[in-house]
């Protein structure tokens, strides 16, 4: 299982190059996200009332079998994008916000750097 990504990971879009290890970790996150069912799972969990969902509540909306949904949830969990908590016979999933925020900052447009204002002679 991947650990939480350092919040100091930089993007080429922000003007600072990624280190090789950071690029490898981020590529793993992006690979886990690169599936329509997994993106839908994240959106369903994020939209859930307590920002968590039981696997039993995710099967119907996706229209996939329980083993297929569990497979996608496992991929997202192993990538560090979800946390899993077992309650009785069911597993509940929550989004790991810092890791998802890292991905979001990677693909967000760069912030413009302010250029110093030219001084005018008085």
Q: What is the rounded distance in angstroms from the CA atom of residue 98 to the CA atom of residue 111? A: 20
Provide φ and ψ at 64, rounded to 5°: -115, 160
What's the pLDDT tens digit per position in 66-112? Answer: 999 999 999 999 999 999 999 999 899 999 888 878 777 777 776 65
The runs of H, that is alpha helices, within 11-87 are 20-33, 36-47, 55-62, 66-78
Q: Report the candidate in 56, 55, 53 with the shortest Cα–Cα distance to residue 74.
A: 55
What's the pLDDT tens digit per position in 17-35? Answer: 778 888 888 888 889 999 9
**Is the full-model pTM beyond 0.75?**
no
How do strand 90-95 and strand 52-54 relate by DSSP bridges? antiparallel
């Amino acid at each position: 299982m991947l650990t939480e990504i350092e919040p100091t990971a930089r993007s080429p879009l922000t003007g600072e190059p990624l280190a090789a290890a950071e690029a490898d970790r981020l590529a793993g996150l992006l690979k886990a996200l690169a599936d329509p069912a997994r993106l839908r799972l994240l959106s369903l969990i994020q939209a859930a009332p307590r920002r968590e969902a039981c696997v039993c509540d995710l099967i119907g909306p996706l229209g996939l079998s329980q083993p297929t949904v569990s497979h996608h949830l496992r991929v997202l969990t192993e990538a560090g994008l979800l946390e899993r908590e077992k309650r009785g016979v069911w597993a509940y999933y929550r989004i790991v916000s810092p890791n998802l925020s890292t991905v979001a900052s990677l693909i967000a447009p760069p912030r413009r750097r302010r250029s110093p204002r030219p001084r005018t002679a008085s």
